[in-house]
Structure 1
Amino acid sequence: MMCIIWTLVLLVAIIPRPGGGTVVDLTHTYGPDVLYPPIGPGGTADMFNFTIMHRGYEPSLDAWLEINWFGVFEHGSTHVDAPAHYAQGRAHLHEIPVEQLIGPGVMIDITDKAKHDKDYLLTIQDILAWEEDHAQIPQASIVMLNTGKHKLYPNRKLFYGTETPDDMTTYHNPGVNPDTAKWLIQNRQVKAFGTDAHSCDPGQNSNRNRCHEEFLPNGVILLEFVANLDRMPPVNSTIFLGPMKMRDGSGGPCRILAIYGEDIAGVSAGNAMSFSILLSTSALVLNLLL
Structure 2
Amino acid sequence: MKIVDLSRELYHRTPSYPGHPPIIHGVWKTHEESFVDSGNVHGLASMFLSMADHGGTHIDAPRHFDRRGQSMGEYPLEKCIVPGICIDLRHVAPRAEITPADLEAAVKKAGVAVPKGGTVLLCTGHHARTFPRKEYSTDNSGVNVAATEWLARQGIVHFGIDSMRPGPDGKVNLLVHKACFDLDITHIESLCNLEALLGAGPFTFIGLPMKWRDGTASPIRAVAVFDI
Same fold (TM over 0.5): yes
Quick one: distance in 1 between partners of 2:42 and 2:131?
36
Deviation for aligned residue 1:76: 2.4
Q: Superposed, which structure 2 residues align to 1:43-54 within 5 Å?
A: 44=21, 47-54=22-29
> Which runs of no fewer than 5 residues in structure 2 stay unpaired?
none
User: Which of 218, 224, 227 is 1:258 aligned to?
Assistant: 224
Q: Report the counterpart of residue 87 of structure 1 in structure 2.
A: 66
3-state SS, counterpart of residue 164 of structure 2:
coil
Residues 227, 61 of structure 1: alpha-carbon distance in 2 compared, 3 angstrom cutoff: farther
**Pair 1:198-2:198 in alignment:** no
Letter of the aligned partner of 1:183 in structure 2? W
TM-score with structure 1 setting the length: 0.71
3-state SS, counterpart of residue 63 of structure 2:
helix
Cα RMSD, aligned residues only: 2.0
Q: Report the counterpart of residue 100 of structure 2 in structure 1.
A: 124
For these two proteins, the number of residue pairs brought into alignment is 222
Letter of the aligned partner of 2:19 in structure 1? I
Quick one: distance in 1 between partners of 2:27 and 2:182?
39
**Pair 1:23-2:3 in alignment:** yes
User: Which of 135, 139, 149 is 1:158 aligned to?
Assistant: 135
TM-score with structure 2 setting the length: 0.89
Quick one: distance in 1 between partners of 2:183 and 2:145?
13
Which structure 1 residue ranges, 4+ long, deviate > 4 Å from structure 2?
none
Give a deviation string over 1:156-197, Cα, whole Å, max 9, x none.
32323xxxxxxxxxx321000211101211x21111111101
3-state SS, counterpart of residue 243 of structure 1:
coil
Matched-pair identity in %:
25
Q: Report the counterpart of residue 148 of structure 1 in structure 2.
A: 125
3-state SS, counterpart of residue 107 of structure 1:
strand
**Pair 1:173-2:166 in alignment:** no
Residues 191, 60 of structure 1: alpha-carbon distance in 2 compared, 3 angstrom cutoff: farther
Q: Superposed, which structure 2 residues align to 1:1-290 within 5 Å?
A: 21-39=1-19, 44=21, 47-57=22-32, 58=35, 59-60=38-39, 62-111=41-90, 113-114=91-92, 117-133=93-109, 134-152=111-129, 154-160=131-137, 171-185=138-152, 187-203=153-169, 205-206=170-171, 209-234=174-199, 235-262=201-228
